[in-house]
Chains A and B, each alone.
Chain A
Amino acid sequence: MQELPLTEPVFLILLSLAERPRHGYSILKDVEETSGGRVVLSTGTLYGALRRLLADRLIERFEEEDSPRERRAYRLTSAGRRNLQLEIGRLKHLARVANLRVARKEL
């Protein structure tokens, strides 16, 4: 089980797989788009993270028919989705507290 809080690259990778299974390059592009170009993963960083997520069973290989070996897809497991939801809940709570404090200061 990946400990919370998730690092930003890991959070973005899980988020990119939440929608649908993706292969490596598709994850790279989605992470870049979701973060508005702020997080650009290298191939080494991406596959290091994917290996750890596979080890933690938060993602799994998704076998597509006729997909070549160098273009294998990954998808979220139920544990991965749960972990992602926990992290989203944590971020929501943090944003709520932050909003309250900032609003109180403005009054």
Chain B
Amino acid sequence: MLSLFRCLLYLYPANFRAEFGDEMNAVFREASETAAGVLGRAMFLFREFFGLLGGAIQERLIGTADSPLPALPGRGGMRAGFRFPKATAALMAVILAGVLLAIAKARSVEASMAMPNSGPETIAPGAMLILVLALACLVAAAGWGMLFALGRSGIHRLAKTRVPETRN
């Protein structure tokens, strides 16, 4: 469970992880040792998972603007030139996979239409469940990618921009 928690910590910005990651691991370990019973343990995991997810989204969106934490070299510092964000590449790969899947599905529908005797294919409930789960993962990954890209773009800092007063 601790290794899953460590993996989920990667949802946080790198400087947050560097500053609080070890402490958070230690606190999670201590807290998980005191969670008793099946229900207590389930509640604990549920709370920790959503707390971590909510915290990571908050840190990605608003946390870095007023952070007292030092920026890690090459991550949050000033950049000389344009750098293609990795999150955008991942997002584009997900979109490409979706387009390829849609093309494949369209071809199978076209083939079934060409042969009128072969009726529409029925999907087994298990396969349907896997399909729905895969789709949910895809949507979650795309959403996370968008939030990550927005966070990296620094759009949240616009709200804190000070406009100099104009003299009359």
Contacts and interface: CB of A to CB of B under 8 A. Distances in A.
A70 B55 contact: no
Interface stretch (B26-34, B141-149, B153-161): B26-34
Interface stretch (A10-18, A43-51, A94-102): A43-51
A46 B66 contact: no
A92 interface: no
Contacts of A7: none
A47 B30 contact: no
Contacts of B48: 42-44
A69 B22 contact: yes
B68 interface: yes
B124 to A, nearest CB: 38
**For this complex, into which size category does the number of interface residues on chain B fall?**
20 to 34
Contact of B58 (A23, A48, A50): A48
Interface in B35-60: 47-48, 50-56, 58-59
A28 B59 CA distance: 20
Contacts of B16: 51
B88 interface: no
A46 B16 CA distance: 13
A24 B23 CA distance: 7
A47 B67 contact: no
A44 B31 contact: no
A28 B27 contact: yes
B23 A44 contact: no
B31 to A, nearest CB: 6
Nearest to A72: B23
Interface string A33-67: 00000001111111110111011000000000000
Contacts of A69: 22-23
Given A43-B24, A47-B20, A47-B24, A28 B55 contact: no
A71 interface: yes
Contacts of B68: 51, 54-55
A24, A28, A42, A51 — most chain B CB neighbours (10 Å): A42
Contacts of B27: 24-25, 28, 43, 46-47
11 contacts: A23-B23, A24-B23, A25-B30, A28-B31, A40-B47, A43-B48, A44-B53, A47-B23, A51-B68, A71-B23, A71-B26
Given A43-B28, A44-B52, 8 more contacts: A24-B23, A42-B51, A42-B55, A43-B51, A45-B54, A48-B55, A51-B63, A71-B26
Interface of B: 16, 19-20, 22-28, 30-31, 47-48, 50-56, 58-59, 63, 66-69
